[in-house]
């Protein structure tokens, strides 16, 4: 698990640079609102992007739930500016987008000027799971 977490942290630390290089756009200023939104959008796309194994298609979150990878889920949920938002020293909010069917966004609801640069990659594409993450977590 430590090696997987190290890979996850490396991805989080480099995701904006990677996407800027992929789309051939100017690098965002680290820590800015634009940078944080770009990182959030890209991380959610990476975490919820389907991949197939053992004759089934899942995403990173479903695999972590299936294998009981508590440490991985904890790190994902606590990734600053992706799912966790520190409002003040005493207040933290969590955005659990896609954890319940009611909070799933429509595929076209997110808009960003950077999305039109590379039309071959849709960072707002939603993966429709057969059930919600919350249902998978609760026995």
Structure-derived torsion over alpha carbons of residues 1, 59, 16, 109, reported in degrees to the nearest 10: -150
Q: Where are the domains of the chain?
A: 2-137
What pLDDT is attached to residue 117? 30
Q: How do the pLDDT tens digits run along the chain, 139 residues long?
A: 889 899 999 999 999 999 999 889 999 899 899 999 899 888 888 888 877 777 777 788 888 888 888 899 899 989 999 889 988 989 998 887 666 544 444 434 433 333 333 345 555 555 565 667 777 776 6
Q: What is the pTM of this model?
A: 0.68
What pLDDT is attached to residue 109? 40
What pLDDT is attached to residue 113? 34
Q: What is the 3-state secondary structure (H, E, C) of 50-96?
A: CEEECCEEECHHHHHHHCCCHHHHHHHHCCECCCEEECCCCCEEECC
What pLDDT is attached to residue 92? 92
């Amino acid at each position: 698990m430590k090696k997987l977490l190290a890979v996850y942290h490396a991805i989080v630390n480099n995701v904006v640079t990677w996407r800027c290089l992929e789309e051939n756009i100017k690098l965002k200023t680290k820590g800015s609102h634009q940078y944080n939104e770009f990182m959030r959008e890209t991380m959610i796309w990476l975490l919820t992007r389907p991949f197939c194994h053992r004759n089934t298609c899942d995403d990173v979150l479903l695999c972590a739930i299936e294998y009981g990878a508590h440490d991985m889920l904890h790190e994902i949920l606590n990734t600053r500016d992706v799912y966790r938002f520190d409002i003040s020293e005493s207040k933290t909010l969590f955005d659990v987008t896609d954890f319940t069917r009611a909070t799933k966004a429509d595929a076209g609801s997110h808009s960003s000027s950077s999305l039109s640069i590379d039309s071959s990659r849709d960072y707002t594409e939603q993966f429709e799971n057969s059930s919600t993450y919350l249902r998978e977590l609760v026995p």
